[in-house]
Amino acid sequence: MAPFLAYEDKGPDTHRLPLVLVHGHPFDRTMWAPQLDRFPGTRRVIAPDLRGYGASPTTPAVTDFSGFARDVEALLDELKVESFVLAGLSMGGQIAMDCYRLFPERIRGLVLADTFPAAETPEGVRTRSAMADRLLAEGMRGYADEVLERMVAPYASAEVKAHVHAMMTATAPEGAAAALRARARRPDYTALLPRVRVPALVVVGADDTFTPVAGARAMHAALPDSELHIIEGAAHMPNLERPDVFDHALEEFLARVDARQPSSAPPRL
């Protein structure tokens, strides 16, 4: 059966663990373009479009946040990927945490970038619901114009700004609105973090105002085996704003996780 999600699947099966990349809101898998260019030279890299984003279908709409995690799990089942390193940024990081909540035995390393574990506040629930209504009524462009220079720093390159703006305006309002409502009802992952039994990498842009450095430090402190990288010259999307620095941190982390694994991996079927 064909996978439900659109996705990239690049690179060879080797003894190195596959890397699975989960994008944030309101983006798509091209958010990971620098990493999809660099890492498939040494390992298999899989990057889906979440339901309602990119080339994935918007219907049936996601109604529960765990639906995103189950979609990722189903895709990896179809691709016969049993164990992997899971990376997510912003909402993608929360989805990565939900994946660890639901199927931790498959995850060998966890990368949490520019994200936070807490459940939504009552005010946050109202704000996300109102934004969902707005996106359905007005479309994505006004929102994209307003938040662009918080998603990436005002000093980011014109090329990066254009890429991020294009992803936001290409997103279907129906998919973005459904995700916002589901995200407003997500569980609190704070108590999950101390129970994570795999290495973790926490990354944050130094100038991120959506998920500030203080929150990243708190996640780093809560995770039993974690590294923290604060990336200067970046806001909410350091993988695009400073891909050289982000990729170096990720490469070192992947090498550490790989070193803990058996020396051989089963071939792709």
Is the pLDDT score of 268 beyond 70? no
Is the pLDDT score of 262 beyond 80? no
Q: Give the pLDDT confidence of 95-130 residue by residue, as tens digits.
A: 999 999 999 999 999 999 999 999 999 999 999 999
261 falls in which pLDDT band (50, 70, 90)? Answer: confident
Q: Give the pLDDT confidence of 5-62 residue by residue, as tens digits.
A: 999 999 998 889 999 999 999 999 999 999 999 999 999 999 999 999 999 999 999 9
> Residue 263 has what pLDDT?
58
Q: How far apart are CA 129 and CA 159, in angstroms?
A: 31
Residue pair 215/229 in contact (Cβ under 8 Å)? The answer is no
CA torsion angle for 247, 253, 255, 257 (degrees, to 10)? -140
Q: Give the pLDDT confidence of 149-208 residue by residue, as tens digits.
A: 999 999 999 999 999 999 999 999 999 999 999 999 999 999 999 999 999 999 999 999
Pairing type for strands 45-48 and 7-10 reads antiparallel
Extract the tokens encoding 128: 């996300």
Q: How far apart are CA 96 and CA 209, in angstroms?
A: 21
79 falls in which pLDDT band (50, 70, 90)? Answer: very high
Q: How far apart are CA 20 and CA 246, in angstroms?
A: 16
> Residue 2 has what pLDDT?
52
What single-letter DSSP state applies at residue 186? P
Nearest C-alpha neighbor of 243 from the set 216, 205, 197 = 205
Extract the tokens encoding 44: 């298999």
